[in-house]
Structure formats: C-alpha cells, structure tokens
Structure 1
Amino acid sequence: MWKDFFYFSRTERRGVLILAVLIVLVCTASWFIPTKDVTDIKEDPDFEKEYTEFIASIKEREHSQNTNYKRVPFQQRKVVLAPFDPNTADSVSFLNLGLPSWMAGNILRYRAKGGKFRQPADFRKVYGLTEEQYTTLSPYISIAEKFAFKDTIRLLSRRKAQDTLLHYKYPAGTVINLNQADTTELKKIPGIGSAIARMIVGYRKQLGGFYKVEQLQDIHLSVDKLHEWLAVNENGTQRINLNKVGIERLKAHPYINFYQAKIIVEYRKKKGKIQSLEQLKLYEEFSEKDFERISPYICFE
C-alpha cells in the first residue's frame, strides 16, 4: 500500500531528478565563490579617504543651511523719551518711546473706537503696559486741554409735585360698591394695595360679579376687616343660560367644574331643557352647597 502514496509518473520522476541536480550544482558553486570581508573594506585606505570626505561634505552642507536660515536678532529701536499726548501721538512716536508695535496698535484701535485719555493715570490702563514702563513714561505724558475734561451734559429735571392723593385712604365709615369699584378706588381702602386690588377685580371678572362680600374668602382675603368698607348690590351678577352655553363656557366659571358642566350639557341633549336645579339633584357631582353657590349665576331662559 505504501507504493500507492509514493508512486510517480515518468514525467514527475524526470522533474524530481532535474530539481535534485540543480540543488547539487548550487551548493557546489557556493563553495568556489569567494566572499569579501567587510573588515578588508574598512582597512582599505582609499575607502577611508572617500568616507571621510563624504562625511565632511555633509557637515559643511548642514552648516551652510543653518547659517542661511538662522534668525537674525531683532535690532531694538533706540528709545527716545520726549513729551507726548497719547490722544494724538502716532505709532512711530509710541515705538520711539520704547513701546512694542502690538501695544502701539492697541492704543490706536482704542482711539479709533472713540476712547480718550483724560488724565495721565488713564495711560496706566493700557493693556500690557508694565508699572515700570508707566513710571518711566508718566513724566512725559502731556494731555491737551480739550481732552482733559470729559464733556458731560447735566440733566436738570424739575422735582415733580408730590401727589397728595397717591397714598390717600378713605376715612372710617366709607362704603363702596364691590361690583363697581376699580383698582384705584379699591386701593384707597386701608389694608388693600395694588396686588390685592388686582386680585379682587380679576376674580370679580371670572365670577361675573359678587353677590356677597364673603366671597372674598375664596381668594383668601380677610372678610372681617373688609366687610365694613364694602357692599354688594342685589342682582349685580351676570347669569349664564344653562340651556344655551357649552361645556367650555360652563367650566370656565369658578363654581362649576368640568364634570358638572358635562352633566348639564348631556342632560340637555337627552331630556331637553333644564327648568330648575332640582332636575340635577340626582347626580352625585352636585351638592347642596354647589347649588347655593351657582344659583346667583345661572338662568334657564
């Protein structure tokens, strides 16, 4: 069976034989080819001379490049201290005083935007100016008279005459109509300011008028203190027709919630017009207190 694995055809046997002959020839030739020793190259005088000249040429080239691109140190401008006005001096004047160009540019931009130096101490605020530089230059700062004082406009206003009615309060015994008084009149009642007056008027608008002073308790006001100043006229409320208005209008009233408004509208659709609140007493959404509160604000025709 091993012959089955190592069996080669005639062509394959020829190929194997040729390959073996080539391998033997290559191995034999390697023995006869001499190899050059690297140490012999290094010890060769001509090689050492060429190598030294090559290294020297590279160093010379690097030196010439560094010399060409070497930054030449900036030659500082000679400082000349002389009187100057920071409001009118140009950039050359600032450079001659020893200030760098970027600082001179900042000063010019500050002036271009309307900035002024009113007194020598203002020059101390220049960005980047050191205390030493300011001390050196301050004796030479000379500000023109037109810049020395800031132009100001004095606004003279007459004192308004005191409004003697601004904090006026009604004397004891005064009674006003709660459904007709505006915020100005309400503020004349002792204990009522602007906020409370606006609160009363706003709640009155939501209700459609008050039918008794005690309703102010709904907005957390002390009725005991206000009762002597306020009165309510009869039939001073605006009434809602339960047979015509929709749910949105009904639930907008402070005394009618959404579920009560929904029952009123559905009752109308199923059983017809509402003639009295007695027809709604079977619904648990309404209580006797609810009927008492909404009675002055509803009608059926």
Structure 2
Amino acid sequence: MWKDFFYFTKTQRRGILILILLIIGVNMIPLLLFPPTVEPIDEQVRTQRELTYNRFLTSVRKTEAKNRYTKNWYSKAYSPKEIRLTSFDPNTADSTTFSNLGLPPWMIRNILRYRSKSGKFRQAADFGKIYGLTEKQFQELHPYIRIAESFSRKDTINLRMEVKEKYDSIYKYPAGTLVNLNEADTTELKKIPGIGSSIARMIVNYRRKLGAFYCIEQLQEIHLKVDMLRPWLSVESNSTKRININTAGIEQLMRHPYINFAQAKAIVEYRKKKGKLKSFTQLSLYDEFSPADFDKLSHYISF
C-alpha cells in the first residue's frame, strides 16, 4: 500500500525533526554573526533630497492654484446668462435685447446682418425662420414679439395707391389747425403736413389696439417724430377705453400693447390665488411689472 512509503517510526520522526532544526540553524548563523548594517546617508545627499521634495510640493501647489483660478474664471466667463423675457420688435431691437432673450452671439449677428441688408420681419412667423432658432425657442419668444405697423406687409393695391398719392396734389391743413388724435380717421390725418397714407393707417391701427391715446408722446412707440406732429394734434383727457383687470382673460389682456404674456399670466394667477385686484400695489412684488408699466397701464385698466 502507498501508506507504507510514508510511514516512519518514532525514532525516524525524531531524526527528521532534528535535521530540519539543523538546516534552519545553519541558515541563521550568517545573520547572527554578520547582522546587516544601515549605511548612513550623507548630509549633502539628504539636503538634495529635501530640496527636490520641496520643489515638487511647490509645483503641485502652483498647479492647483492655476487650475483653481482657471476654473473660477471659466465658470464666471461662461456661466449661463439669466434670460429675461420682455416685449421686443425684431426689426428694431439691439444686440443687448436679443442677448437678454437668450439668443447666442452668432445668431444675433445673423439677425443684425439680415437687417443691415434691408431685411424686414413682417410678421411674428418670419422671426421663427431664423437659422438655428429651435421651435421651442420660437414658441417661448412668440408671445413677446411686437412688430410695428410700419413693417407690416403691404399688398399691391395699397402700394399702387401710395405711389399715385405721391404725385397727386393732396389738400393740407393750414398752420394752427388742431386735429383730435383720438377721433380723426385716416382721411383727416393725411391732411396734416408730413402724414401720408401709411402713417395715417399706422396711427389709426395703433390707436385701435391701445384703446385711444392719452398723450401725443405715445406716437414715439410707433417710431414717429412727435416734435413735428405736436403742433397739429390734440388729445382729450379720459378718452381711453379701459379693460376690467378682474374679468379679462389672458388673451384679452395680451391684445393690449402694454401687456405681455408673462404679465397677463401673473394677473390671472393672482386673481385665482388671492381674489380680485383693487390696485396696482398688489402686483408691485411681481418681477414682471415695473413702476413705468403701472404708470402706462393706469390709463387703460379698471378694477
């Protein structure tokens, strides 16, 4: 049997143990007689090593500081700019206005370049055709687009009539004549020196949207020169049409040139949460409104 090959007597086992101990003892003799010694490090070598280590730590600190500065500078320079949605005319808005609306610099340059080549946005949908403007961005900006009547599309018949009027002799009022700005139609407005068919229609259309003018200076909002027209126009006080702020819906409120989508939404939400409005003071905490907004709306709002 295989066990017979590995069977040892007691004497044999004792001999094997003594042999193992002798082998270990022989291997330990050199270590006991000649213990290893640690060679002392030369002072110059130690100093050199310390300098190298200190240089390494200094370079690490400089790298961390540089990375920290770069990170802070990058985060400040390229942090997302706060988007402020407000009413704008794509035909007259400047680069700052477009930037506040969240448009990137390259898109702003394209818009300004398009306008510099006599390009015009005739309606809100035209602004949605800008290269790079996504459908989501356009839907967010659409409620704030206000295109002046002077840029509206003209049909062929009106264009021919304007060309004809250019060469026809049209009666003009003599100096000293006053025209009521809130009652005059296009025919009467055209009798004022400096006012033609397009400007007369522009005034009447804007008057209809406002619900009448409360001062002549409002003509600046449709890019007319008030100083030239002031001697010919008069405005009766308290002649504006007012909107009941407690009953009008979002759509009705937005139709007014002085109320944008965000403001109309804020008004309706306030009514739902806190009830009827009694004064503009209740809306003063909303970021959507400014004191100038309240000043203009006071002529067109009733409570």
Normalising by the smaller structure, the TM-score range is 0.3 to 0.5
Q: TM-score of the superposition, structure 2-length normalised?
A: 0.44
Greater relative contact order (Cα < 8 A, sep 6+): 2
| Greater per-residue helix proportion | 2
TM-score by length of 1: 0.45
